[in-house]
Structures are given as structure tokens and as C-alpha cells.
Amino acid sequence: MTPAELSLPAAYGELAGLRIGHPGAPRVIALHGWLDNAASFLPLLPHLPPLDLLLLDFPGHGRSAHLPPGAEYALPSYIHAVLDAADALGWDRFALLGHSMGAAVAAMAAVAVPERIERLALIETVGPLSEEADAAPARLRQAVAAARALREKRLRVFPDLEVAVRARVQASPMQPASARLLVERGTHPVDGGHIWSSDPRLTLPGALRLDEARVQALLRALQCPLHIVLARQAQAYFPQEQRQARLDLLPQARVTVIDGGHHLHMDQPAEVGAAVSPFLQPDG
């Protein structure tokens, strides 16, 4: 089934997404990674069971509205976007399928509103990024300076989509066909070519980041069933030692490790689909 474009109301504007409706099937919202969009999950669709499924564009990503001037993109904003989307669909309870940043948002949403999240399938991240508390002053200075400097920057115009695809692959290695899906949904035409449709503020460093102790406290609060899918090679921002320490906090989680890169759900969709399908449709 071909997913249909969907627009849902939110407090600050419209949330865009792709919808595949199977009434009576398990309800799932899929959450993409940072600077990706709902197209991130298109390669996975043929490998999933029938689901009542929403592929959501996070605020500022894909075709969703940007946050208002002066607002900052932070974890609570994304959690509210998930809940706003579910409310608009009339869903009281649902599962979350998340990749990277989307997996972090999914986990924190399950902590914030455990009564609404039935189960979590997390790909390539377990909880949000963290850093040592002593890094806070430097982070704050960097974030404020970057935000002030962004006002003077001009958006890059790509003469054609192939140039944008190459730039996307360079930024985060993946198969060119996977990058093209993200580029096609994540750009719009202007005079002279195409520009990213994502909010430039997404590239700014956050002003605050949790320390590891707080992240671990949040993870210990997870109550719902968990299936975590990881690439065998840990990412630099989520090193193996930290990854294992967080997994140790979640003895109830099933963990599947697959050879592949960070976007393994796009580049190895059959393997990822085989891992998460029985979990997302437990009575199928």
C-alpha cells in the first residue's frame, strides 16, 4: 500500500506525515532521526506486517512546520509533537518505532506518558545524548554564539538533487538510494535549484544537555516492552562502553545486533523488518 500524505494540527502549526491505515491493526508512530524525515522509513514498509501506521515529520523537518522565531528545538518539543499527532488521530495508546534521535524521543515519551506508550522499537540509539556536567559552560557559550551567527548565514542552493544527495551521503554515510528518499522529501525548489526544507536552527548546538546520571535515571523508569536494534559498530557519539552501560539498565529489552551503518533500517530493511515485525505485531 502506498502511504498517503497527511497533515495534522499542532499548537505552532501543521505536522506532516505519511499514513498507512489498517483499522484494527496495532497503532504505531514512526519517528525519524535528526535532519531526516518521514521518508526514512519507506524502505522498511515492505518488510513490516499490517500496521495502523503514521510516519511523522518532526517539527522543523521534512514538510512539517518550523517552530516560531525564538523557539528552540529540544526534547520536550518533539515529545509534544508525538502526543499532538496521536491526539489528532484519536489514539490513546500506541507503539513507537524510532531511529536515532527519534529513538531517543520515543524512549523519553514512554517515560513521560507511560500510560500511552504500549511498546518501543528503538533503532540505533538508547536514550538521549549526554555529556559531563563540567561541559555545561562551554556548551552554553557555543550555543549562544552559534545562534547569533546563524542570522548572517545564507542557505546553500543545490543546482540539482543529485548534488544534494551527494552532500547527504557525505554528511551521514548511507546508500545513495536511501539518501535520495530523504532529499526528495527534505528539499524544496527555489530559483537556481533546491534548498533544504528543514529549519536551519536544527543545526545549532543545544544550549543544555543532560549528564549521563540523569539519562540513566530516565531509562530505569521505562516500563513498557522494548526491542532495540543496533548496528554492530557503535557510533562515535554513542560509544560501545556507554551503549552497553545503558543496555545493562534494561534487562527486559530484547536486543538485535545487525551488520550495517547508522541508517541500517534504510540500507538493510529486510533484516531490520524481520527483527521488529513480530514485536510490533505480537498477536500477528
- What pairs with residue 5 in β-bridges? 18
CA distance 75 to 207: 12
**Cβ proximity of 195 and 157 under 8 Å:** yes
CA distance 130 to 124: 15
Cell of 244: 552497553
Cell of 219: 531509562
Per the listing, cell 500496521 goes with: 51
- What pairs with residue 29 in β-bridges? 54, 96
**Cβ proximity of 99 and 123 under 8 Å:** yes
- What pairs with residue 123 in β-bridges? 99, 229
Cell of 204: 545549532
Cell of 233: 559498530
Cell of 7: 497533515
Alpha carbons within 13 A on the beta-carbon side of 24: 1
Cell of 173: 554515510
**Cβ proximity of 25 and 1 under 8 Å:** no
Positions marked catalytic: 100
